[in-house]
Every structure is written in C-alpha cells, then in structure tokens.
Structure 1
Amino acid sequence: MALLNDLLNLNLSDSTEKVIAEYIWIGGSGMDLRSKARTLPGPVSDPHKLPKWNYDGSSTGQAPGQDSEVILYPQAIFKDPFRRGNNILVMCDAYTPAGEPIPTNKRHDAAKIFSHHDVVAEEPWYGIEQEYTLLQKEVKWPIGWPVGGYPAPQGPYYCGIGADKAFGRDVVDSHYKACLYAGINISGINGEVMPGQWEFQVGPSIGISAGDELWVARYIMERITEIAGVVLSFDPKPIQGDWNGAGAHTNYSTKSMRNDGGFDIIKKAIDKLGLRHKEHIAAYGEGNERRLTGRHETADINTFLWGVANRGASIRVGRDTEKEGKGYFEDRRPASNMDPYVVTAMIAETTLLWKPT
C-alpha cells in the first residue's frame, strides 16, 4: 500500500513537462458523469487550445452502435486535486462529428443565452445550493442510519455536530478543500436537516461558469465518494415519509437587481417566473413531485408563490434584500438532480429575454 501511495503521489513536474488532462462529460441519463484521461505535451490554461477528443457514445446511451463516435469540445479547465501538479480537469460538451450538439448537450443552448447581449449586459450572478445524500454502499441506505431502521426524528441534525448527528464529515471537508484547490468558487458547506444529507454552495458565479463549476464540483464529489466507499445520491426525495428532500436552490441576481431600485426589478422578474411556472417545473429535475409537496420547507409543485424569508415559498426574497431595496432572490424549486446549465439559462431567459404576450 505504501508503495502504491508513493506512486499515486508522484510529482510529475520533477521529471517531465507532460501533464495529464482528465476530460469530463455528461452521459446519456443527464446525470451520469463520465471521464477519461490523456497526456498533453505541456501545461495548458486555455480550454480552446486543448485538442478535441472522441468517445464511444453507444456505451453512454448517446449514439447508435453503427455510428458511435461523439466528439468532446473542451470548455473549461480546473486544477486536478487528485493528481495535482500541473494536471487538469477539463469540462467538455458533446457534438456529432458534423459539429451538431447532441441532444443531451444542454450546455450549448445555455451558452447561446448567456452570450446574448441583453444577458451579458446584466451580468447574471448565481449561487447554487447543492444538497445530496451519502448512502451506504451495500444497502443504498443513508450513512449513519441503522440498516433497515430509522434514526431519531429530524431536529438535531441540521448543521449538527457529534458522532450521533453528523455522518460523513470527512467526505464533506475533503470535497470542500478539493473544490477550492480546483479553482471552483465554492462558498460554503453545511449539514442538512435529514441525517446523512449535506449541502455545498457554488457561487457567486457569472453566467455559463455557474453550470461548469457545479458540474465539476459534482464530479469531484463522485470521485471522493468512490475513494471513501460511499454512494452519492442526488435523488430529490431519497427517503419517503417525514424526512426532508434534497434540492438545488438557485440564488440569482442581475446588475439592475443589485443596483438602487433593484427590488422593483426583482418583483417584475418574479412575476415573469410565475407566468412560466409549469415550464420551469418541467425542466427542474426528475422526481421533483416527490419533493415539492408543500411540506418540509417546500411549496406545492402546482402552486407558485413568493415571499420574504418564507422557506415554504417557490421564490424566497431575503430580509436584507427587502431592507436595502436591492439584492437577489432564491428559486427554491429546482431539485438536487437538476441540470445547472438548464436551470441557470432558463432563469436568465425568462427574466431577461422573454416578453409575455
């Protein structure tokens, strides 16, 4: 084991200019992250200077076997916390050999919205609160829970400490540091209401980078749980009954909302979101109806309401924003398994580009 660790921790820059690039992409389910590595002749900091690469789309549910080649376009570079040194993680999106985005490539359409001049001018900021659950590998039951049984009811676990309240902190802290090392704008972590459930926050990030950073943060968490021997779940309601679900609350502001008089802009944006509630819900994650029940700090999936400091609302405005007359709001509807490219672009499109008829 010691020799294996020595080899894993070799510093390549002592002996070679070459670096390892781990290309990351999203598979056919829309939630399965995939990755593979290649050697580059030297360090690279601009994703557009990286070579395109291909993979077998028939093995990821993204292409038929008789025409299985899918092309990866590098889009964002992060430092690799696993290999370290000059090695990198590369977030990619996927195209046909003819250069068409494949159907599961949600980044392509998001990038179009975020490059629209009206959106660029408003500098949309996002902060995404990613909730997730850590499961025991053998039984797919939350860590810290008795197998086949239940812990004491919710109450002491939220931001809790102690061996009977906080389960998996080593995974959570490793992930926090690894994300900061990678260059992800991770802004915090906390234990959630259901034991075995945690949250990390990514942001504030501008435009398309919010999606890139959240996906790479998810990738890093998948890798860490692989090492730790626990299973990562983004199910919006992993345990039925009187237990909180898992969401990905999305905080949002534009330049106009952050400036004086911004509260009026916020109210107009929320009105527009209300008019398109059904379309947003349809795009906010699979199985979200199991979570958005009107209980456990959610609004009912069929109801749109907003309020100041109201955790049972679809959209929550903070007390500070109300007091200062400017700031941001929080869309509490997205599920933990949402695609951040879809959600962030849709919020920008509805609030900045869409004109209600």
Structure 2
Amino acid sequence: MAQILAPTSQWQMRITKSSTTASPMTAKMWSSLLLKQNKRGPTKSSAKFRVLAVKSEDYTINRLEGLLNLDLTPFTDRIIAEYIWIGGSGVDVRSKSRTISKPVEHPSELPKWNYDGSSTGQAPGEDSEVILYPQAIFKDPFRGGNNILVICDAYTPQGEPIPTNKRARAAEIFANQKVIDEVPWYGIEQEYTLLQTDVKWPLGWPVGGYPGPQGPYYCGAGADKSFGRDISDAHYKACLYAGINISGTNGEVMPGQWEYQVGPSVGIEAGDHIWASRYILERITEQAGVVLTLDPKPIEGDWNGAGCHTNYSTKSMREEGGFEVIKKAILNLSLRHTDHISAYGEGNERRLTGKHETASINTFSWGVANRGCSIRVGRETEKQGKGYLEDRRPASNMDPYVVTSLLAETTLLWEPTLEAEALAAQKLALNV
C-alpha cells in the first residue's frame, strides 16, 4: 500500500539533544565529521550529542521535508496562491503558483493571470496567451497557513471563453432566475481507479494477472481486499481541510477503485468543488507514487467501470408533491437522452453496456431502487413523495460544469413540444 508524504530514501539525521542556538548542519560539515571519525577510529557514545544516519545511494542529507513544512505565517503577510485550470483534454488539471501580498477572502481580490495555451493544447503558438480568471478559493492542504488553491476558468485576451472553458456557460445557466429560484442541489459520486506507476495496472493487482472475482472488495477491509485506503483517507482529510464539501468515501466494486462524494452543493459550486477535489487527489497520488485514472472502463472484461453518478433535486422536488415534479423531469431527460450522453464523458460507451450496474447507452430507462437504469429514484423518495433523482449515466471523467448545468437546463428551462411529451410519457409508462 502506498505511503503518503513519505520522505525520500536519503540521509536522515537525528540529534538527541536539541539546541535553540545550533545552526543547521551542512553537507560539508557532515563530510568533515565523517572524515574525522575515520581518522580517530570508532567513537564512543556521547550523552550530549549523537547522530544516527541512514545512508542512501546518493549520499545526501534530506532537509526537504523541513522546508516543505515551514509555516510562513509568523514571518510574512504574503501568501502563495496556486492557480488551477482545466487543460486542453478537458480532463487534465494544470496549475502554477504566484505570490500574493496579503491573505484574501474572495476571488475578486486576486489578479487575473495568463499562461501559455500552446503548451496545453488550448491556443496556437503564434497567439498563445490565455487569461486565467480566479473563480473560487480553497485552503491549500499542502502548504497550509493562509496559502490557497484558486479554481480558475480561461479566456482569450479579448475576454471570450476559450472552447474548453465549460464553466462560463454553466455560470450563465445557473444565473437564470428560474434556476436560482429552484435552488438546484447536487450530490456527485466521483469514482476513480489507482494504477501502479510503471505498469499502469490497478493497485493491488498482480502484475500481468488478475485478482479474485468481484464481490469482497466493495467497502471491504483487509490487505487482500482494500488497496489504496491511505490515499483515500489522505484525500478525505485534505478536502475537509480545504473547505470542499466532501460528504463521504468508500472502496468500490473493482479492487483498486475508490469513490468519494461531494455535496449537497448548490449550482456552480458543485463543479468548483469537484474540480478542486480532483486536483487535490492528483497531488496526493503524485506524492504517493501512484497513478490516478478517471477512465470510465480502465480494465476491459468482467469488471465494473467508473462513473460519476449525479444526484439532483430542485426546491419543487424537495417539497410536498415533489415526486410528480421528479417524473416530469425524468420525462424531459428521456427526450434529451442523446444530448446528455454526448456530454457525459469520453469513452462512456465502453462503460454503459447494460452490465455491471449500468443501463445501455442507447436506451433511456428509469426505475425505483434500480441501479441498472439510466435514472434511479430512491425508495425513500418514493415513500415520502418527494426528494431527488440519481442520474447514473455520467462517466468518471465527465466535466461537472457540463453535467450539472445540463441537468438544470433540461429540467428547468427546456420545454418539449406537446406531441413529444405525450409520446415520451407513453414510452416511460411502458418502461416502468
């Protein structure tokens, strides 16, 4: 199992008696000490000063951990802001750091910045400048103190959203008064798979081989069932520290696969929190020496894929009589099934096969407590006559800005023709 934040295998030094006036020992001083010891022969134990060292291949002394853990707060008002944006693939996260003169509480206090879009597949080389607009702030769990993570979206120098900026369109939808009045809630279940670094094979799997069949791994415990729990737990705590609305985590059906849940979040906040949580997960797996993949079907065959099930409700759905509102929303979703599928993640056709707790990508369906449907409604929602629906179609690599805003648009702003509505209602009645 990977070790989080483990120091590199370099020289490690412990001094049994601390001194507030002692200066750091340099590599030159350490070499001199070793030379003197060799000349004098074996040294006697000293109660005042003793050095214990573990030798490594490169004969260096590791001081990185101490520097990385430095708390700058007592010494300067300046902070480090890590600007984060989505790269050209629409799935990759990029970031770079800058110094800000003082702590900030709102993204409007931060300056815009730019980056080389030709290096991220987002701009041509002859006109490569892309502008970052700060949109959301989170506490930085890696640097601590007043340092922050900044979720940004990207624009041309003329102020137009670049094609991969899906947040801008989502913000327009969530700014619509009809949507605002319905206070849309989202609970997003992000599944992911951990891979061994060199072979790109799931964590805990024998290289070139397979573990036992699925069954004991889901929410399982034990060295032969749970692979990567330290990463999941580190991510959980880091998200809580950052201020991300993470609500839980669990081991998934396929070994080496995990899930965490974010929400309930309102409107555009859901996308900001998912992207921030993905960035933190990328950084943790980087430190652990494990590869993170959001591929919706990382292993072909009789293994579960990875989704990003999205739970959704509006004010009207949560009030008395809400179940009828949910049914109307499902009807609208059925009529725009193709539009949603095309926006729900690359490679999703490899996952939505009608097997492994999925519905077929080509067929829209819904049911109560049925995880083999496109849309699932919980037993409690049926019993209470109000609640939420779960869209089980989004892939693990979906863009949360796209999925959340599309759900709001289809259920709150889009109106089907009467003929289409009647035909869809008839089909859904037969389906149920």
Please, what TM-score do these two structures have when normalized by structure 1? 0.99
Superposed, which structure 2 residues align to 1:291-302 within 5 Å?
291-302=351-362
Q: Find the counterpart in structure 2 of residue 278 from structure 1.
A: 338
Give the one of 323, 339, 344 matched to 2:399. 339
1:188 is the counterpart of 2:248: yes
**Matched residue of 1:320: which SS?**
helix
Q: Distance in 1 between matches of 2:357 and 2:154?
A: 37
**Matched residue of 1:202: which SS?**
strand
Q: Distance in 1 between matches of 2:148 and 2:225?
A: 36
Q: Distance in 2 between matches of 1:277 and 1:5?
A: 51
Q: Find the counterpart in structure 2 of residue 75 from structure 1.
A: 135
Q: Distance in 2 between matches of 1:173 and 1:22?
A: 23
Q: Find the counterpart in structure 1 of residue 323 from structure 2.
A: 263
Q: Distance in 2 between matches of 1:216 and 1:224?
A: 13
Give the one of 45, 56, 65 matched to 1:5. 65
User: Post-superposition shift, 1:4?
Assistant: 1.2
1:348 is the counterpart of 2:424: no
C-alpha offsets along residues 88-107 of structure 1, whole Å, 9 cap, x if unaligned?
A: 00000000000000000000
Give the one of 201, 207, 210 matched to 2:270. 210
1:238 is the counterpart of 2:263: no
C-alpha offsets along residues 240-274 of structure 1, whole Å, 9 cap, x if unaligned?
A: 00000000000000000000100000000000000
**Matched residue of 2:63: which SS?**
helix
1:148 is the counterpart of 2:208: yes
1:157 is the counterpart of 2:199: no
Q: Distance in 1 between matches of 2:105 and 2:333?
A: 38
Q: Cα RMSD between the aligned structures?
A: 0.6
1:174 is the counterpart of 2:234: yes
**Matched residue of 1:43: which SS?**
coil
Please, what TM-score do these two structures have when normalized by structure 2? 0.82
User: Post-superposition shift, 1:48?
Assistant: 1.0
**Matched residue of 2:171: which SS?**
helix
1:116 is the counterpart of 2:176: yes
Q: Find the counterpart in structure 2 of residue 125 from structure 1.
A: 185
Gapped runs of 5+ residues in structure 2?
Answer: 1-9, 11-61, 418-432
Q: Distance in 2 between matches of 1:69 and 1:239?
A: 38
Q: Find the counterpart in structure 1 of residue 25 from structure 2.
A: none
C-alpha offsets along residues 177-198 of structure 1, whole Å, 9 cap, x if unaligned?
A: 0000000000000000000000
Q: Distance in 1 between matches of 2:369 and 2:310?
A: 15
C-alpha offsets along residues 267-313 of structure 1, whole Å, 9 cap, x if unaligned?
A: 00000000000110000000000000000000000010100000000
User: Post-superposition shift, 1:135?
Assistant: 0.1
Gapped runs of 5+ residues in structure 1?
Answer: none
User: Post-superposition shift, 1:25?
Assistant: 0.1
User: Post-superposition shift, 1:169?
Assistant: 0.4
Q: Distance in 2 between matches of 1:232 and 1:273?
A: 31
Larger of the two Rg values belongs to structure: 2
- Identity of paired residues, percent? 78
Q: Find the counterpart in structure 2 of residue 93 from structure 1.
A: 153
Structure 1 residue identity aligned to 2:245? N
Q: Distance in 1 between matches of 2:369 and 2:267?
A: 25
C-alpha offsets along residues 157-213 of structure 1, whole Å, 9 cap, x if unaligned?
A: 000000000000000000000000000000000000000000000000000000000
1:17 is the counterpart of 2:77: yes
1:323 is the counterpart of 2:383: yes
Q: Distance in 1 between matches of 2:234 and 2:163?
A: 34
C-alpha offsets along residues 313-336 of structure 1, whole Å, 9 cap, x if unaligned?
A: 000000000000000010000000
Superposed, which structure 2 residues align to 1:38-53 within 5 Å?
38-53=98-113
Q: Distance in 1 between matches of 2:83 and 2:249?
A: 26
Structure 2 residue identity aligned to 1:54? N
Q: Distance in 2 between matches of 1:14 and 1:139?
A: 45
Structure 2 residue identity aligned to 1:30? G
1:250 is the counterpart of 2:310: yes
> Number of paired residues?
357
Q: Distance in 1 between matches of 2:320 and 2:75?
A: 56
Q: Distance in 2 between matches of 1:324 and 1:12?
A: 52
**Matched residue of 1:126: which SS?**
strand
Moved over 3 A (4+): none
User: Post-superposition shift, 1:354?
Assistant: 0.2
Q: Distance in 1 between matches of 2:187 and 2:105?
A: 25
User: Post-superposition shift, 1:69?
Assistant: 0.2
Q: Distance in 1 between matches of 2:337 and 2:86?
A: 27
User: Post-superposition shift, 1:14?
Assistant: 1.4
Q: Distance in 2 between matches of 1:257 and 1:214?
A: 24
User: Post-superposition shift, 1:3?
Assistant: 2.1
**Matched residue of 2:115: which SS?**
strand
